[in-house]
Amino acid sequence: MNNTVESIKHLFLDTGAGWVMWLLIALSVISFAVAVERWVFYRHAQGDLHRLAEGLHRHLTALPTGNSPHAQRAQVVAAEWLESSGTVAARIAAAGLRLATHGSVSVQRSIQSRTALEREDLDRRLAFLGTLGNNAPFIGLFGTVIGVIQAFEELGHSAAGHAGSGAASQVASGAVMSAIAEALVATAVGIAVALPAVAAYNYLQRQVENILSGAEVLSSLVLAYLESEQRSDNKSEQRSISTPLMTKEDDPLLGES
């Protein structure tokens, strides 16, 4: 057991805490790149929701009723117009609109499926920011512990070298304080890396929720269109059933002819 502890101690003494500092700096650069890439991606994925909602409303009100080939073609054209915007909300609504002829249940399931796929793309690489924000201080603390081990090792050598001297305690204290101060820098760097990562993670998560909320706006327009179509079709069927055919017994004029 003692040999194992001594081996680990010498490993820490040989490697030092410098590599921890470089690791934190590298992780900080990566987190900054991820945050910028996600921000640019969300800017393109969000788009102008008001313009999309107004355009989709115009396309839906202009669609012909029924399930004729012309109506189906018009629905495909509206879906292609949505997809051409390149936004997440438009792609989700277009997925539902393409199945408009199969009923509202199929449309809802298509919207849910596409929403899950889009959320997977939106959440990509956000876990890195969250993990870094939670663990960077511990990485810095690990570097501090290594620095403290080195400080006490230097203290032992300094005290042994100045044995019997009145200046031994002063030299040893100065060496320990200097080494511990350098070791604490690793903890400070770890906290400095964690804070921007946590802030970026929270901000980008909020952007994801805003994008998906916009998708609900367009999806609700598609579902409202389908429900109005179904109500109009049901009313037409009820009128055709409630209107009986005229027979000769019901109409005297038919009987005379």
Structure tokens at 198: 């946590």
Q: Which residue has the higher pLDDT, 28 or 71?
A: 28
Side-chain half-sphere of 236: how many Cα atoms within 13 Å?
8
Return the minimum-mean-pLDDT range out of 101-110, 171-180, 206-215, 226-235: 226-235
Query: Which string of DSSP letters, residue by residue, matches 163-174?
Result: TT-TTHHHHHHH
Over residues 132-138, mean pLDDT: 95
CA nearest 201: which of 253, 146, 116, 131?
Answer: 131
Model pTM score: 0.75
Over residues 194-198, mean pLDDT: 95
Residue 175 has pLDDT above 90, yes or no: no
Average pLDDT, rounded, for the chain = 80
**What's the confidence (pLDDT) of residue 245?**
47
Residues 6+ apart with CB under 8 A from 135: 194
Return the minimum-mean-pLDDT range out of 8-22, 196-210, 241-255: 241-255
